């Protein structure tokens, strides 16, 4: 198993929707690799990590069996395989949902209508479980590995259960999303096999880096000038982690205010700051943040 070596072995998708984002994340936390596109296994140059680049379908089982210690994979895949792994973190990319869909204006309009129908999917386990839990016992589930959305047009199936993000693919194929059966995102999963103390330490270090990076990505450093009299109001507006830094300016009664804000509140905060007389507002990205 991977545990007999000291390097942390991490499974990532070799080539697909998650690959670039995952590599970007690993580079973002300071890991350096060469030539990850051409090899199955890549050693990190400056951290005790090696990457195994495989099909996403195989990742949960590799992690379950301890062949890899960690893996980056969609929650949808882990759920479908039913692998025994621990989810360490949910990540904000690869966001999608697994949904039942049928021909727009066809004879399947609601959940009950799926009774007795043929459903094409790459997720037979999750599909069957969902239908059974909803007391739809008689369906014919056909497993196809790709291009599920064309199955109804080919008359291979009456309906499908497939991943949806924008819904454009469904629309383009004359299908309508009827029921969401799973909300998914990329997850960092860990093996439940026993890990050596050395590896546990490495995972801890890896997580600290990841969390600092995620926190930094979700935050911005904000600087502005404001009348001194507006400082109490501005302090109320800013949802800052710490008390903001307030510095006097050469101009009488004016101060500079520096702080960190969560990115999702950026526009609301910005508008209110302007109302309070803040000027010269500058927003900067943050490289990393240790809380
Ligand atoms: P592989 O060759 O590795 O098996 P794949 O074809 O199964 O690749 P991709 O299409 O690259 O997989 O998708 C990888 C993951 O991206 C999905 O399992 C899912 O978690 C996520 N994802 C996000 N949005 C979508 C979407 N609209 N359609 C499909 N997958 C999506
Ligand atoms: Mg796959």
Residue 171 and residue 149 share a domain: yes
Residue 196 and residue 172 share a domain: no
Distance between Cα 195 and ligand 2 center (Å)? 27
Whether ligand 1 lies within 6 angstroms of the CB of 17 is answered as yes
Q: Are 120 and 151 in contact (CB under 8 A)?
A: yes
Distance between Cα 68 and ligand 2 center (Å)? 18
What range defines the domain where residue 168 resides?
Answer: 96-183
Give the model confidence (pLDDT) of 165-195 as tens digits: 999 999 999 999 999 999 999 999 999 999 9
The atom number, within ligand 1, closest to the CA of 185 reads 20
* CATH of residue 225: 3.30.70.120
The pLDDT score that the predictor gives to residue 213 is 92
In a domain, 291, yes or no: no
ipTM for the assembly: 0.97
| Torsion region of 142: left, alpha or beta (phi above 0 gives left; psi -120 to 50 gives alpha) | beta
From first to last of its 291 residues, the chain has per-residue pLDDT tens of: 444 567 999 999 999 999 999 999 999 999 998 877 778 999 999 999 999 999 999 999 999 999 999 999 999 999 999 999 999 999 999 999 999 999 999 999 999 999 999 999 999 999 999 999 999 989 999 999 999 999 999 999 999 999 999 999 999 999 999 999 999 999 999 999 999 999 999 999 999 999 999 999 999 999 999 999 999 999 999 876 678 999 999 988 999 999 999 998 888 889 999 999 999 999 999 988 887
Whether ligand 1 lies within 6 angstroms of the CB of 77 is answered as yes
Among 12, 37, 163, 177, name the best residue to mutate to test ligand 1's pocket (greatest count of ligand atoms within 8 A of Cβ). 163
The atom number, within ligand 1, closest to the CA of 165 reads 27
Residue 84 and residue 7 share a domain: yes
Residue 170 and residue 197 share a domain: no
Residue nearest to atom 8 of ligand 1 (CA): 16
Residue 245 and residue 104 share a domain: no
Q: What angle do CA 264, 213, 272 make, to 5 degrees?
A: 25
Sign of CA dihedral 212, 218, 224, 229: negative
How large is the angle between the packed helices 19-28 and 197-217, nearest 10 degrees? 100
The atom number, within ligand 1, closest to the CA of 74 reads 20
Q: Are 93 and 18 in contact (CB under 8 A)?
A: yes
The pLDDT score that the predictor gives to residue 5 is 60
Residue nearest to atom 19 of ligand 1 (CA): 74
In a domain, 290, yes or no: no
The pLDDT score that the predictor gives to residue 239 is 79
- Nearest ligand to the CA atom of 18: 1
Whether ligand 1 lies within 6 angstroms of the CB of 58 is answered as no
User: What is the C-alpha to C-alpha distance for residues 59 and 112, in angstroms, rounded to an integer?
Assistant: 35
Split into its structural domains, the chain has a count of 3
């Amino acid at each position: 198993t991977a545990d007999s070596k000291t390097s942390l072995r991490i499974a990532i998708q070799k080539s697909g929707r998650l690959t670039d984002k995952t590599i970007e994340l690993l580079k973002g936390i300071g890991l350096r690799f060469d030539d990850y596109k051409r090899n199955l296994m890549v050693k990190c140059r400056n951290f005790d990590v090696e990457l195994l680049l495989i099909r996403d379908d195989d990742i949960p089982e590799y992690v379950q069996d301890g062949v890899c210690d960690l893996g980056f994979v969609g929650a949808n895949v882990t759920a479908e395989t039913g692998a025994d792994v621990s989810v360490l973190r949910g990540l904000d990319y690869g966001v999608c949902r697994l949904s039942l869909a049928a021909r727009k204006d066809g004879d399947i309009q609601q959940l009950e209508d799926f009774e007795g129908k043929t459903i094409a999917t790459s997720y037979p386990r999750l599909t069957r479980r969902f239908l059974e839990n909803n007391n739809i016992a008689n369906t014919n589930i056909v497993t196809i590995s790709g291009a599920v959305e064309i199955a109804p047009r080919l008359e291979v199936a009456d309906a499908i259960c497939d991943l949806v993000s924008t819904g454009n693919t469904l629309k383009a194929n004359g299908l309508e999303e009827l029921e969401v059966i799973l909300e998914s995102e990329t997850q960092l999963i860990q093996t439940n096999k026993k890990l050596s103390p050395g590896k546990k330490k490495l995972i801890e270090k890896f997580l600290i880096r990841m969390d600092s990076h995620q926190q930094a990505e979700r935050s911005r450093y904000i600087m502005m000038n404001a009348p001194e009299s507006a400082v109490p109001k501005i302090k109320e507006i800013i949802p800052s982690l710490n008390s903001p830094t307030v510095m006097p300016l050469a101009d009488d009664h004016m101060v500079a205010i520096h702080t960190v804000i969560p990115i999702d509140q950026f526009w609301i905060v910005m508008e209110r700051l302007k109302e309070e007389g803040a000027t010269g507002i500058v927003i900067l990205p943050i490289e990393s943040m240790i809380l």
